[in-house]
Every structure is written in structure tokens, then in C-alpha cells.
A and B are shown apart, each in its own frame.
Chain A
Amino acid sequence: MIRNNVTLLDIKAGEKAEIVSLAGGYGFMRRLQEMGLIPGQIVEVVRNSAMGPVEISVMGTHLAIGRGIAAKVIVRPVRRQIYGR
């Protein structure tokens, strides 16, 4: 197993991340995958405050994911390209 502690919760609003894996029960994992959170998929975090769920944009739709579940979505932050400005 790859050790990686970055989860969706750690990604700030406006930043992007690549899905690495989902660490949880069969049911919820399946659901998230079916909603498009498959390994390699890039998602953008739209909203992320301690008060509520994480909202992400994936494949053109917005998903609200409770914080408990978001904590089980392991991701890799995607650095924004700095050149070209």
C-alpha cells in the first residue's frame, strides 16, 4: 500500500487534485466510483470549510461529499502551472 495522507479534506477551495484511491467500505466506495471518482480522475474542490461538506466538481457536475467520507478519499494535489502568465 502506498502511504499517502493527503485526502480531499486537505485540498483548499479552488485547487485541483487527482484521485488516488478510496479507503472505505464496499458500498460507499462503489458509489463514489460510480459518480466518477475513479483513480486518475482530476477533480476540483469548489468549497471546503469545516462547517459543511466538501463540494467538488467532477466531470462537469458538482458533488457534495460529507466530511467523514471526504476523509477517506485519498488524493494527490495537482500543482497549478505557474508559467505562461
Chain B
Amino acid sequence: MEDKKEFVVALAGNANVGKSVIFNQLTGGNQIIGNWPGKTVEKAEGFIEQEGVRIRVVDLPGIYSLSTYSEEEIVSREFIAKEKPDLVINVVDAVNLERNLFFTLQLIELEVPLVIALNQYDILERKGLSINGKKLSELLGVPVIKTVAVHNKGLTELFEIVRNALLKGEKKVSHLRYGKEVESRIKELSEIISKKVKTYYPPRFVAIKLLENDPLIKKEIKDEEILKKADKFRKELKEIHGEEAETVIISERYAIASRIAESVIERKSTLKESMGDWFDKIALDKVWGYVFFILVTIGIFYAVFKFGSFFSDLLSNWLESFKPIFMRMPLTPFWNKILWDGIMEGVIAGIGIVLPYIAPFYLILAFLEDSGYLARIAFLTDNVMHKLGLHGKAFMPLIEGFGCNVPAVLGTRIMERDRDRFIAAILATLVPCSARTVIILGLVATFLGPVYALIIYVLDFILILITGRILNKFMKGTPSGLIMEMPRYRKPVMKIILKQTWIRLKDFVYFAFPIIIVANVVMEIFSIFNWIKPVANFLKPVMTDFLGLPPLAGITFLFGILRKELTLVMLSTLYHTTNFAKVLTPRQIFIFGFVTMIYIPCVATIAALKREFGWKRATAVTVGEFVGAIVLGGILNQILKLFMP
């Protein structure tokens, strides 16, 4: 019997090819899926257990090459090269065979056991093409399985082949040859390497990477003689080909990839303009693109607002109708208060105020993510982003921020440089997440009207722009530019959209809901023992004198640090009503909405900031936003006094 019971299998491949869909299908995992490159930014693990075999499956960020460029790609390379998985499933976009094979060839050079999943095969067929899998497998010396991950096709077969390969454990190494000049130098160099140094990597791989002038590999191989020799070879290659050695090698590797791709793709049909190209004429137009974008955004918020307020009323009224039943229960007033005002009002707030807004919001977000439109927004906003010292790709995590700021902060890893990442992360914390949307829609839009909600959003966006400009001024460095593969539009798959929505909602139901209820009970206890007054009085100078809010609002802000929804939930608990127009003036509603929007990142976001950037910077952001919100809120209050009672 094998002594080793657990196997490690990694999913690797270009960005946006379907690795995470396959991961989720194989392991039942909950990886984020969407139609733009760079969603998975750190490795995720899942397990498959079957007939005594335990397989640890690792989902990796997408990478284009084993040379590295941005942070999430280093994660992938390090994992494949250093942790040596027992097998790598190379997920390949069948529609884009040539470019994907460029990476496959490097995996082959790395001499890891490989199985290829030829994914998105449905789209290839829709284009009237097919791939000769058997021939591809022979040419590469690697098993090839055609898959349609979103419809769970071919995955059972894929798993069988992976399993068999693992159990057999045989390693056969195939090499693809470069041109004569390059090949002879690789050989000579790798012979010296195998004699002189020990590395994680196979000697041939090291030799190739040295000829490509890879900085990380050079750092690892400290041997003078080898580095000198590599340099000499690089010079020779440059003389022969008239290009830098790395260009020569990349070109030859692409030549191999395209030769293989050409020989296996069958039935080439003429490429006609697809629906997507046609749609891009509007979506990416220098005028209509922005018009369309604005219409889409407003449309989404309006739809969420309409849907949300309808169900919010319905559900709140229904739940309120249980009050008499609770009141009739034979309990002491204390327990009655805890039960109804503490627990039940928490439940009502969660179900009645929060859920009706976030559920449709998440659904639409998932739909947008899967459609491919998000990458178009990145394209449109590239120029604006440059003014903030970023580039278009930063827009992707920012949009993620509308759902929740935490993945947005993590998602900034797709930015190539630390400075860009930090700026993007700060801006991400200012993006109105779903919790804040609940407050803006449930409070401002409901009691003042949608236009006022829109004004708050616009103010927030202006604030993001200004913050970006200021940060760009103070944090040195020229921004790097945008290089992004534009994903194809896709008809979103219902099952995947519903699952994405559920993953996010689950977080709310299992995590936020209990917090809301506990916070409510705590608040009720405070109120029973008359502890609220002293705290409120303590906060009064800032809250009332400066911001013009009722003193009690300060307490809701304290709870809001846990989760932003809590500000509104607590407001309803403190006043025992969800009709906020009765207890707040229009100006107070507006200021309340504005301040909650920006006053602090919630604890989860602060934790994410700390994890990504360290305590110092996380604290700086938190304090900065807190002070900024109070100051801006105060100024806004003074201005609004002129217009609003």
C-alpha cells in the first residue's frame, strides 16, 4: 500500500478560464466566480474523499506565465514550483488554445505531472470549431479531457483520470524542443546547473528561466559561474537573432504553441462579428459607453430600491402583527421587553429592513459579474483612474466593494504594485457596500426620496475621486498602466448566479443576523437600566452640536462599527419604530446617511486592511476616515441649514 494517503492537486491556468468553477464542482467549495480576469487572488483549498483516497485540491489565481508580474501570480508560481503538488490540473480555455498553451508549455518545462481540462468547450462548439483531443494529448504527452465546467460536463471523467494518475504515481517527462540555437544552450546550461546547484526547480527549467533573465530565479541561483554563462548565452542569442534572449524564447515558445494549436483545431469557420463585438460598440463607445454605464447604475439602484421598499413594508408589517401575541405572554415586564424589544425587533430589522434590499442587490451583482460587463467598466474608467494614480483594473475590486468591502480590499491584489494596491484599498473602503446601500435606500430614499439618495451617492463618488487625487499626490510613484484581457460576454448561468447570491446572503444570515440580534438585546438591556443617557450625553457635543443629529444617533454609530447595517437597525430599536420620518428631521436623515456612508470601515474591513497592509496603515485609514466623516458631516450640516429645516 501507498504510505502517502493525502494527495495534493492544484488547479492552474490563465485567468478567467474556469478554474474556480471546476474547483467548486469538484470540492463543493465556495470560490468567487465571475467573468473577468483576476477574481481568485489567494489560494483556496478543498478536499475530496473517495474510497480511502484523500485529495487536497488547491484553487490558484490565474497566471499567464511562470515569470511573474503581479502579487497574486507569485502565489501561483510559488505554489506550483515549491510546494510541488502531486498533480496539476491545467485548465485551458478551448477557445483560446494558442495563448493558453503558452502557459501549458511552461508547466511541462516545470516537469510537474499534468492533466489538461479543455474547458469552455461549449463556446468553442458554438463557434463551429472542434479540437482533436487525442492528437493534442499525443503532441503534449499529457492527458486531455474536454469539459464544460458550468454544466458539470466532463468533470467526472476528469476526476477519474486525475485519480488514476495519482494512484499510479508514474512520472513521465516530455520535452518540447526550441530552435537549434536556443536548445543547445539550454542543454549546456542545464547540465552545469544539475552538477553544481540544488534547486526546487528542474535544471532545464532553471536554464530556460535564466536565459529569459528572470529576476527571481537569478536571485535564487547565486552561483557566479552559472550566472556568467547564462549572460554569455544571452548575448550570443541576441547577436544571432537581433532580439533580447527573452524575446527569442517567448517567440519560440509561442511558435510551438501556435503550431500545436493549428494542427488540432478542426473545421475552421469564418469568424463573423459576434453579438459581443456588436454590443461593445455601445458599451465601450467614448460617449454612449458612459451614458449606458450611468443608466445601468441608476437602473440597478432604482430597481433595488423599488423592490426593497415594497418587500420591506410587507415584511415589517407582517412581523409587527405578532406583537400582540408576544405581549399577551405571561412574562415579567423585563423578559417581555427582552423578548420583543430585544430579540424580535432585531429579527424584524434584519428581515424587514436589511434583507429586502441586499437580496436583490446581490442577485443583480452576481448577474453583472458573470456577464462580462464589469471589465468594460474597467475599460471606460481607465482614464479617470489614471488621474487617481491607478489604472482601469482597479475598478474591479472597487465594484466588488459594492457587495462588501472585505473582498474588495483583498481583490486589490490584482494591482501590480504596493502603492497602487494601497490607494485602491483605501478607495475601496469608501465604496458604499451593500450594508450602506441598505441605509441609503431604506432611510434616505424611503423618507426623503430617491433623488436625495442619489445625491449622497454622488457626494460619495466625488469624495472617492478627491481622496484618490490627494493620495496620488502624496504617495510617490508613477502609476503602471493597464494590460487586461477583455473577457467574452457570456450568457450568465442561472445556477451559478443563484449560488453566488446565496454565498453572499449566507454570510448575512449566519453571521450578520446573530450580531444584529445580540446587539439589539444588549441595547435593550442598556435601555432598561437607563445606561443609554450617559453615553448619549457624552457624545452630544459632536453628535448634536456639530452634526445636528439627535444624541441617540451617536450610539447607533458605535454599533455601526461592527456592521454598518446596525446603525439603522439600532435607530429603529432606540425609537421603537421603522417610520423614521417621525423621529428625524429631513436634514438629520440626510446627515445620518452621509456620515454612516463614510465614517469608518467596519471591523471586518479594518481587519482585512490590517492583514493586507499592517496595523499602522490600517489604523491610519480608520482614523482618517473617522475624522474626515465627522468634519465633512459637520460642514454639510452647516450648508444644509440654509435649505432644510
Residue ranges of A at the interface with B (Cβ–Cβ < 8 Å): 21, 26-28, 30-36, 38-40, 47, 49-53, 55, 59-69
Contact = CB atoms under 8 A, between A and B. Distances in A.
B400 interface: no
Contact of B102 (A34, A47, A49, A51): A34
A63 B251 contact: no
Interface stretch (B165-173, B351-359, B378-386): B378-386
B546 interface: no
A35 B63 CA distance: 11
Contacts of B69: 27, 30-31
A31 B64 contact: yes
B486 interface: yes
Contacts of B612: none
Contacts of A34: 64-65, 67, 102, 250
Contact of B392 (A28, A36, A39, A64): A64
Contacts of A63: 483-486
Given A32-B483, A49-B286, A66-B482, 8 more contacts: A30-B65, A30-B69, A33-B251, A35-B64, A38-B250, A51-B383, A55-B379, A65-B482
6 contacts: A33-B251, A47-B280, A52-B379, A61-B485, A64-B484, A65-B481
B99 A59 contact: yes
Contact of B483 (A21, A47, A52, A69): A69
Interface in B356-403: 375, 378-380, 382-383, 386, 391-392
A33 B481 CA distance: 15
Contact of A61 (B96, B258, B380): B96
Contacts of B231: none
A32 B483 CA distance: 8
B7 interface: no
B383 A52 contact: yes
B483 A60 contact: no
B247 A69 contact: no
Contacts of B65: 30, 34
Interface of B: 64-65, 67, 69, 95-96, 98-99, 102, 213, 215, 243, 246-247, 250-251, 254, 258, 280, 284, 286, 375, 378-380, 382-383, 386, 391-392, 416, 480-486
Nearest to A49: B286
A33 B247 contact: yes
B251 A39 contact: yes
Nearest to A47: B284
A17 B485 CA distance: 19
Contacts of A31: 64, 69, 483
A39 B247 contact: yes
Chain B interface, DSSP helix/strand/loop, else mixed: helix
Contacts of A55: 284, 379, 486
A52 B486 contact: no
Nearest to A70: B481
Contacts of A21: 243
Contact of A28 (B247, B280, B480): B480
Given A60-B98, A61-B486, A64-B382, A53 B480 contact: no
A28 B102 CA distance: 17
B67 to A, nearest CB: 6
A50 B482 CA distance: 15
A2 to B, nearest CB: 10
Contacts of B386: 66, 68
Nearest to A62: B486
Nearest to B416: A27
A69 B481 CA distance: 6
A35 B485 contact: yes
A64 B379 contact: yes
A64 B64 contact: no
B382 to A, nearest CB: 5
Given A39-B251, A66-B382, A53 B67 contact: no
Given A28-B483, A35-B64, A39-B247, A52 B382 contact: yes
Nearest to A32: B483
B486 A64 contact: yes
A36 B485 CA distance: 11
Nearest to A56: B486
Nearest to A68: B481
B291 to A, nearest CB: 13
A76 to B, nearest CB: 15
A15 B386 CA distance: 26
A25 to B, nearest CB: 9
Contacts of A40: 251
A68 B215 CA distance: 24
A55 B95 CA distance: 19
Nearest to B212: A30
* 8 closest Cβ pairs, A-B complex: A66-B481, A66-B482, A69-B481, A62-B486, A51-B286, A34-B65, A68-B481, A49-B286
A21 B379 CA distance: 24
A85 to B, nearest CB: 18
A73 to B, nearest CB: 11
Contacts of A67: 383, 481
Contact of B391 (A26, A38, A66): A66
Contacts of B243: 21, 39
A38 B246 CA distance: 11
Nearest to A60: B96
A52 B486 CA distance: 14
A38 B254 contact: yes
Contacts of A38: 247, 250-251, 254
B99 A53 contact: no
Contacts of B378: 64
Contacts of A65: 481-483
